[in-house]
Amino acid sequence: MKSSNAAPMGVIILGASSAIAEAVARRLATKGVRLGLVARDAVKLAAIGDDLRIRGAPQIAVRAWDLAAGPAPGALAELAQEMGGADTVLIAYGLLGDQALAEADGAAALELLQVNFTSAVSWALESSRVLATICGAHGLVVGLGSVAGDRGRKSNFVYGAAKGGLALALQGMAHRSALTGAPRGMVVKLGFVDTPMTAGFKKGGPLWSTPDQAAAAIVQAMARPKAIVYAPWFWRWIALIIRLLPEAVFNRADL
């Protein structure tokens, strides 16, 4: 993946049936990018693939995998070969879960951590290994993180801990790349996005964005990657304020 403001040549999207991932895929298809689509629902993937071909994707390969189970040896490399090569992997799946349930039920907490952290980091490492053999330092592994991972808050600290851990892993990959020339890592920290995953939230106002707005920021970041990107951009400053609040002040805020 080059940082020359050019679109990637081939992108594998893990969690391709999510609203944000589908919006990313549509934008990439119009740029003529080869696509590898991975999600659990084979029927939905086939429909998405048909739509993306119409939009201009020159090559599409699909796989119905349970991503939470982690990567199977050789599977990602095989997918990259079928689609004609890849230089970018986007890890776009996740589970918001329920904080109260996670606190009350260890199995629910474990599921949140497995989906959002353990399996995601495993896929990031496998993606880096595969891209290293295909395009070396031009490879890019992108993970969708969350501003929830910037500071632990009462309302969602299990989910936030998982997303914060994924962000650290991807930042470490970015640092490794700077020193060794390995594929880069990048985390895109999203704010509030109006998707089915946030269906239970009260929405509206300037802090909320659409899946397509999030996708625009993600595709732009792919063209000029850096270790951490906030989407939309203003969340960088909101998150900074939250991180810098003194504990005495922070502990009076019901966040």
pLDDT tens profile 25-45: 999 999 999 999 999 999 999
Q: Residue 63's closest CA among 46, 50, 81?
A: 46
Q: What is the pTM of this model?
A: 0.93
- The predicted pLDDT at position 163 comes to 98
86 neighbors 34 (Cβ within 8 angstroms):
yes
User: 3-state DSSP call for residue 140?
Assistant: strand
Report which secondary-structure segment, H or E, holds 38: strand 34-39
Q: Report the percent of the chain where pLDDT is more than 90.
A: 89
Q: Residue 171's closest CA among 184, 161, 190, 182?
A: 184
- The predicted pLDDT at position 201 comes to 78
d(CA 71, CA 115): 12
Query: Beta-carbon neighbour count of residue 142 at 10 Å?
Result: 28
Which one-letter amino acid corresponds to residue 167? Answer: A
At residue 18 the predicted structure's pLDDT band, cuts being 50, 70 and 90, is very high
Pairing label, strands 60-64, 140-146:
unpaired
d(CA 96, CA 86): 29
Q: What CATH number does the domain located at 10-250 have?
A: 3.40.50.720
pLDDT per residue over 161-218, tens digit each? 999 999 999 999 999 999 999 999 999 999 999 888 787 777 778 889 999 999 999 9
Please give the torsion angle defined by the CA atoms of residues 159, 237, 208 and 150, in that order, rounded to the nearest 10 degrees. 0
Assigned token pair, 135: 């395009």
- Identify the burial level of 106 via C-beta atoms within 10 angstroms of its C-beta, where 0-12 means exposed, 13-18 middle and 19 or more buried: exposed
So which residues are the catalytic ones? 159
On the CB side of 63, how many CA atoms lie within 13 Å of its CA?
Answer: 21
